[in-house]
Each structure stands twice: as structure tokens, then as C-alpha cells.
Structure 1
Amino acid sequence: MATRDAGAVPGGWQVQRIRIGDTDYPYYYGIDCLDLVLQELAALDTDLFVVVTDDTVLGLHGQALLPGLRALARVEVISHPPGESMKTLPVLTADLERVLAAGATRRSVVIGLGGGVPGNLAGVIAALLFRGVRLVHIPTTTTAAMDSVLSLKQAINSTIGKNHIGTYLPPYAVFTDVALLATLPDRELRSGLCEAAKNCLAIRPQTLPRLRAVLADGELSAPEALLWLLDESVRAKSSVTVNDAREQRTGLVLEYGHTVGHAVELADHRRRGSDGVSHGEAIAFGMVVAATIAHRRGWLSEDVVQLHEEVVGALGAPLRLPEGITVDTVMDVVRDDNKRGYLPPCTESIAFVLLRDLGSPAGDPELPLVAVLLSEIREALEVVQERQPVLTGADDNGRAELG
């Protein structure tokens, strides 16, 4: 679980120890604290910083970080156009060769700067270099800060599906400057908070009143709101991974919304590239579909389904499939979900995280997965497509219009 050290770290930030199985690493966070980040990185005594990022993040934050890094050691920047296209084997191979040609050694440090996509690529690079070098995350999105860096999983995509190729590597440390999150575009900020909302619905329902109040207030970029959401995300994720470092037992509840969500994300990215629906938005839509399946099984009430729609809509995420993505398109991708193999094989069903109540996943507590027929998924998608959005201010794609 996560534990907070007494008081704040001198200089204006706080630290929590993230314990996942036998692994322990520090998570530092504060406001306007990049100078403190550089102080911590100086203590690593590295010969090379390998900064893995995307072109957008590099343009936004590179100048604030890179000069300070170059004063400490040599720096090799690996940057790609943003989006899932950088999480592929050809990109990984070329990046590894480039890093080795730049003189990387076992003393080198890989820094994942940005969101979950560059963070994942950085994690795989760090895991493969000399069978593992030090990995540091500096998340610049709410999705990364509140979800992906709270994990040992590092993965890239195959040509078949999302996150099929990867390993486990704990970061050496995580550093989050909330001021960087507050500069995100509104849609990207809200998208990342979808993972925090998932934690409230699936793990810590006692936090839902506060979440609804934060959403109603609309000031999601306020440092106080971001710090609370970050803190709750750490607590929720740590509570289910403390004895499950590989997220293959109790930690599987974190996959809530991901089965359909990953399929929608990948399908839309194949169609529109980086303009497609974001990871958080897709997961939020996947939660609505999962709640609909559970309701049709008699497990969740209509009120709980409407609560899902309320939270997802308030975050500006889609309540229906993106334009141009059909139910058939989603079904073609969802068959290759990366949770295959946890349950006995069946050609007519796949493993799914469903809730019997808020905070109560169905299935064995040690393996919170149930088999869901492909026909059930199709029917739920069709129901969601035809359902009238719960928010009266939704646009034609079921996305809430927020002022």
C-alpha cells in the first residue's frame, strides 16, 4: 500500500512510498517543483539520461527540463509524434539501437517524460537495456500521474492488439509537478481523470461524493483538486496491488472498463491516428458498457448505470461510440483482449471485469474476472448506442458539452 512520510519534503513537495508486492519506490509530488526534481536526479550519478517523450510534450516542457539535465550529464532525447504509433516493435528496435549508439551503459537512466504512451515505451527500453537500467517517470498528464506510473507493467503494442508485448520493471522514482498537469488542455485534463473516476467506482466508492462535488465545481485544474485526485488514485491502486505486483490477481480490478475501452481506443487510433479518442475517454466509455452488461445480468441497478453515465459525461468523455466506429469494428478488436488465458478458453466468451455493486467486482476476490459472452458485449454496445444520454447538454456523439 502507499504510506505518506511524516510531513512534507523540505522545499515544498510530499512523498509517498509505493509498495507493490516486494517492490518499494518513492513517489514525489508538489507544485512548481522541477528544481527539486533536478536535485534528486543529480544524486543518481549517471553517465547518460535517455529522455523518452513525444513531440508535443517536448515542445511544451523540454526547455524547462533539458537544460538542467544537461548540466548534470549527457542527454539523449528520443521523441516521436504523439500517439499509439510509438508503441510498436519497429520503433522500439530503432530506439534501442540509437540509445546504444549514444553510449548507454548500466549506469544510464531512462526518463519517461509525458503521458502513458512515452512512459510505457521508456519502461520497455529501460527493462531491455543491459537486462534492466534505472527508470524514472516524470508524468505530464493526469492519466500517467494517476494511473500508469502506479504500476510495474511496461508494454508496447503488437499488430494484433494493445499491450501484448512487455515486462515488469519498477521505476526508481516518480516525480510529478502538478503545475504541469494544470497546463493541460481541458479535454486532455478531463480524459486523464477518467482513470481516477474508475478507481472511485470500482475500488473506493466512499470517495464518490467528493468526486461528484469536484466535477460539479468544474475547477479540475485547481492544484487542490488535482492533489486530492492524485492522492486518491495512489490509495486506490496501492490497495489492490500491494500483494499483487504483476496485477494478475486482485489488481485485475484495475482493468475495469478496459476490455471494450482498449478496443475502442485502438480502433479509433487506427482510423484517425492521434486525433482519435484518448485512452481515458475510451476507458470511461468501456465502464458504461461494463455497467450495462452487469445491469442486464441483474447485478447493477439502473441508478448505478446512470451514475456511471453521469460521471463519464461530466468528464467530457463519450457516451456513445466515436463517429465512424461501429459495433462490428469494436467486436473485431475486443476478441484479442490481453486478458486471454486467465479463465478457461472459450471461443464464445472473454474475461471481463464486472461489478456486482460499486466497489465490489464479480468473480473470485483473488481473480475478479468473469466470462462474458461475445453476444452479451455486442448487445450491450447496441443498447448504449441507442440509449438517450443522461446529460441534456450532450452533443451528437454523446459527449457532454461542458462550459
Structure 2
Amino acid sequence: MATRDAGAVPGGWQVQRIRIGEVDYPYYYGVDCLDLVLQELAALDADLFVVVTDDTVLELHGQALLPGLRALAGVEVISHPPGEAMKTLPVLAADLERVLAAGATRRSVVVGLGGGVPGNLAGVIAALLFRGVRLVHIPTTTTAAMDSVLSLKQAINSAIGKNHIGTYLPPYAVFTDVALLATLPDRELRSGLCEAAKNCLAIRPEALPRLREVLAGGELSTPAALLWLLDESVRAKSSVTVDDAREQRTGLVLEYGHTVGHAVELADHRRRGNDGVSHGEAIAFGMVVAATIAHRRGWLPAEIVELHEEVVSALGAPLRLPAGLTVDDVMDVVRDDNKRGYLPPCSESIAFVLLRELGRPAGDPGLPLVAVRLAEVREALEVVQSREPVLTGADGEVA
């Protein structure tokens, strides 16, 4: 895998090959490099660019990208109000019909512009059009740049739960200009870095000292910090997916924090819509719950749980459930987690990624999941809800 020079030059970029199973694709990243993105897109010889985004991203970044795209080929913009509501079957069906009516062919290119939600919708659209057309990602959030585009998984939500409907499609390429990430609101920036923190805790603990330095410095939006976090995310995800393209074996460690995290995210969004807890914040909270379960089993010492709380608190993510959300609300959703079926069925337990130590998941190395009784999950949630914050002043709630 290619390495990045420590001092990235504005207007230039680096490229790494992302290898996932038998698939590999280029990931270009740099600072102030949209002109280079357009040069690469011009080489695709597309007859139509289908840009899938949300209204907020379109307003922020549309004028920086769309005029250049229109100089290359026709452009059809598919944009929706931001949030999980755009990842549904009715939205997908309407978007596909619209793209076909706009004249899409097998030479067309779908461009996912934005965060993980429009990126996922773009991936499913690209996978279904003519049984698969070229997909490129231009992430504008830390969550997308450091997590969701480093995967072949493309999915939308069902009425039952998150990411239940989807497929696998490798992107043709990924282009990240960290100057776009630096424009994110502070909460959204930090939320996306929760996935990078997950990688350090569950996969690459050797990166934790540097992560703690970056968090303590408080300058997460600098190009240097963002490029380092991006490098770490690429290394971590590549190390567990290189022989597991579908993330159904070793790659399942990437689900650390997601069992409870997805349940919290979905339950809160059903209640508060886009004002609900973000994906990254929910995953961070889920990691604290997972660490608590492992501690109660005697697998992790108290200081590792405290380390989880330190990192989560420094990222501004919740150490408690969002106000108004109850343990019962979370338990109602957690039963439908999308990891069902990996372990022998049991109505009283669910599959979990737990750690025996930092960077060492419990269970078989080839299938890093263990069964956790629903009663254990409830008890851990109640412990976390009642526990005094380890760090002074960390109230843990999300507004």
C-alpha cells in the first residue's frame, strides 16, 4: 500500500490502493484538489454523471463541483433532504426511474457526493442500474471518508431496521479533498471521527497515543490531523478486509459498537428525525456499552472501560442515552440487529463484537462474534445510564 508524505502540498494528492478480497480500487486524497478530481472524472468518458447527494451538501459544495462536471458530460442531480429517510425503498424506486428517464446507460457514472447516507443510496443505485454501473465517491464528511467508502457494502434501510436491504459493489474510485471535511460543523466533524476511534480501540491500539494527542490538541479540522486520521482508517480497515471482501468474517470486528449503536441511532431518529443522535455518536455510545459488557464478564479491566469513556467524551459523543430515550426503546430495536444469522439462533441472545483486550476481539479470530444475552445488554445499558462520569464535567448527553 502506498504511503503519504508527511507534508501534503495544497493542490496535490496521494493515492492508495484499497484491497478488499480480490477487489482493489484507488483512493485519492489531498488538500484543495477538486481540479484533480475533475481531471480523473474526465478520463471516465461518461455519457451521464448521476450525482446522488442531499440538499445540505448540494448547497455547500454543488457550485464547486457541478459546473466542472457539466463541462464533461450531462449531469442528473438526485438530491433529498438529509437524513436516514432517503435510505428507503420508495425513495430508491423513484430515483431509479428518474435516472433511467434522464437517459442513463451502461456508460453512465454514479457519483456519491456527501456523507454515508447519500453514499449508500448512490451505491445501491449504481449496483441496480443495468446490473452494475461505475460508482465513484466524493465524501464530504469524516464518517464517509474514514469509514463507509472503505467498504463494498451498499445498503438502504427496511421498515424494521438499518441496512437490511443491499448488496456489494466496489467503487471505481474514491476522491477525498480534506478541505471539504474542514468545513464541517464541529459536532459533525467529531461524530465522524468516532469510527476512526473505533478502529484504534478494536483493531490498531498502537495508534491510541497519537489519537489521544490529536484529541487533546483540539485541532481536529487541520489538514495534518485529518490526513493522519484518514491514513489510520485506511490501514485499520484494510487489515481486516483484505481477505474478507464481504465483511462477514474477520471484517466483522468493524461492527464494534454497532449492535447497540445502530439501535440507539434508529430509535432516536424515529423519535426526533434529523435532530436525533448521529451515526458516529451512536456508535461511540455503543462502544462504551460493549466495553461495559466485556468488563462485567471479566474480560476487560475497569481502566479500559475508562479509556473508552475518555475517548468518547473527548470526541463530544454521548456517555448516556439521548434525553427522552429509554433502555426499553433501545431493547425494542436491538433484537433486529443485522448480524442475526452468524451464530446459532437463540431468541434470548444476539451477536456482539466484544474485546478481550484492546485490539483483540473475543470469539474465533475468523468470526469475531460472541452471543450476548439480551438480559446482559439491558443490564449494561442500565449500568452505563447510572454510572457517574469518569471525566469531570462529562455529562454525556446529546442535545
Bin for the TM-score computed over the shorter chain: over 0.9
Q: Which runs of 5+ in 1 are unaligned?
A: 395-399
Report deviation, 1:393.
2.1
SS of equivalent to 2:311: helix
Contact 2:114/2:141, CA 8 A, preserved across alignment: yes
Shift of 1:9: 10
Q: CA deviation at 1:10?
A: 11
1:190 alignment counterpart? 190
Q: Is the 8 A contact 1:140 1:176 kept in 2?
A: yes
Structure 1 residues 189-225: Cα deviation after superposition (integer angstroms, max 9, x where no partner) = 0000000000000000001000000000000001100
The structure-2 alpha-carbon separation of the partners of 1:313 and 1:107, relative to structure 1 and needing over 3 Å to count, comes to same
Contact 1:5 1:15 in 2 (8 A): no
CA RMSD of aligned residues (A): 1.9
Q: Per-residue displacement from partner, 1:54-107 (whole Å, max 9, x unpaired)?
A: 000001000100000000000000000100000000000000000000000000
* Misfit runs of 4+, over 6 Å: 1-10
Q: Give the deviation of 1:324 after TM superposition.
A: 1.2
CA distance in 2, matches of 1:228, 1:89: 37
Tell me the distance in 2 between the aligned counterparts of 1:7 and 1:321.
Answer: 40
Secondary structure at the aligned position of 2:3 is classed as strand
1:176-325 mapped onto 2 (5 Å cutoff): 176-325=176-325
Question: Does the 8 Å CA contact 1:269/1:275 hold for their aligned counterparts?
Answer: yes
Cα distance in 2 between the residues matched to 1:10 and 1:291: 40
Q: Secondary structure at the match of 2:16?
A: strand
Contact kept, 8 Å, 1:393 with 1:401, in 2: the verdict is no
- Residues 112, 123 of structure 2: 8 Å contact kept: yes
1:1-31 CA-to-partner distances (Å, cap 9, x unmatched) read: 7766999899610000000000010000000
Q: Which runs of 5+ in 2 are unaligned?
A: none
Q: Once structures 1 and 2 are overlaid, which stretch shifts more, 298-307 or 7-16?
A: 7-16
Match of 1:401 in 2: 397
Q: How many pairs are equivalent?
A: 398
Q: Is the 8 A contact 1:3 1:17 kept in 2?
A: no
In 1: Cα distance, 2:10 partner to 2:130 partner? 35
Q: Is the 8 A contact 2:83 2:117 kept in 1?
A: yes
Does the CA contact (< 8 Å) of 1:49 and 1:109 recur in 2? yes
Change (3 A) 1:10 1:276: closer
* Offset from partner CA, 1:241-272 (integer Å, 9 cap, x none): 00000000000000000000000000001111
Q: Is the 8 A contact 2:113 2:137 kept in 1?
A: yes
Structure 2: distance between partners of 1:369 and 1:391: 30
Compute the displacement of 1:401 (Å): 9.8
CA contact (8 A) 2:257 2:287 kept: yes
Check conservation: 1:203, 1:236, Cα contact below 8 A. Answer: yes
Q: The residue matched to 1:337 in structure 2 has which SS?
A: coil
Distance 2:300 2:7 in 1: 41
Q: Distance in 1 between matches of 2:324 and 2:42?
A: 49
Q: Rate the CA distance shift 1:183–1:8 in 2: closer, same or farther, 3 A.
A: closer
Tell me the alpha carbon deviations over residues 284-311 of structure 1, each in whole angstroms, 9 at most, x when there is no partner: 0000000000000000000000000000
Matches of 1:219 and 1:4, distance apart in 2 = 20
Task: Note the alpha carbon deviations across 1:151-196, whole angstroms, 9 max, x for none.
Answer: 0000000000000000000000000000000000000000000000
Distance 1:365 1:3, change over 3 A: farther
Name the SS of the counterpart of 1:4 in structure 2.
Answer: coil
Tell me the TM-score normalised to structure 2 length.
0.97
Question: Residues 219 and 123 (structure 1 numbering): CA distance in 2 closer, same or farther, change over 3 Å?
Answer: same
Give me the whole-angstrom Cα distance separating, in 1, the residues matched to 2:50 and 2:76. Answer: 5
Query: What TM-score comes out, normalization by structure 1 length?
Result: 0.96
Question: Contact 1:314 / 1:402 at 8 angstroms: preserved in 2?
Answer: no
The 8 Å contact of residues 106 and 130 in structure 2, kept in 1 or not, is answered as yes
CA distance in 2: counterparts of 1:161 and 1:146, whole angstroms: 23
Inter-CA distance 47–79: structure 2 relative to 1 (3 Å threshold) = same
Equivalent position of 1:168 in the other structure: 168
Contact 2:281–2:318 (Cα < 8 Å) also in 1: yes
Deviations 1:94-141 (A, max 9, x none): 000000000000000000000000000000000000000000000000
Q: Deviations over 1:352-389 (max 9, x none)?
A: 00000000000000000000000000000000000111
Report if aligned partners of 2:191, 2:281 keep a CA contact under 8 Å in 1.
yes
Aligned partners of 1:99 and 1:327: how far apart in 2?
42
Secondary structure of the 1:235 match is helix
Indicate the residue corresponding to 2:138 in structure 1. Answer: 138
- Shift of residue 391, structure 1, vs aligned partner: 2.1
Counterpart Cα distance in 1 of 2:53 and 2:10: 29
Identity score, percent: 90
Q: Is the 8 Å Cα contact of residues 2 and 19 (structure 1) preserved in structure 2?
A: no
Q: Do the aligned partners of residues 335 and 402 (structure 1) sit closer, same or farther apart at CA in structure 2, a change above 3 Å counting?
A: closer
In structure 2, distance between residues paired with 1:168 and 1:378: 33
Specify whether residues 42 and 9 from structure 1 end up closer, same or farther in structure 2 by C-alpha distance, changes over 3 A only: farther
Change (3 A) 1:62 1:197: same
**Inter-partner Cα distance in structure 1 for 2:244 and 2:398:** 38
**Counterpart residue number, 1:357:** 357
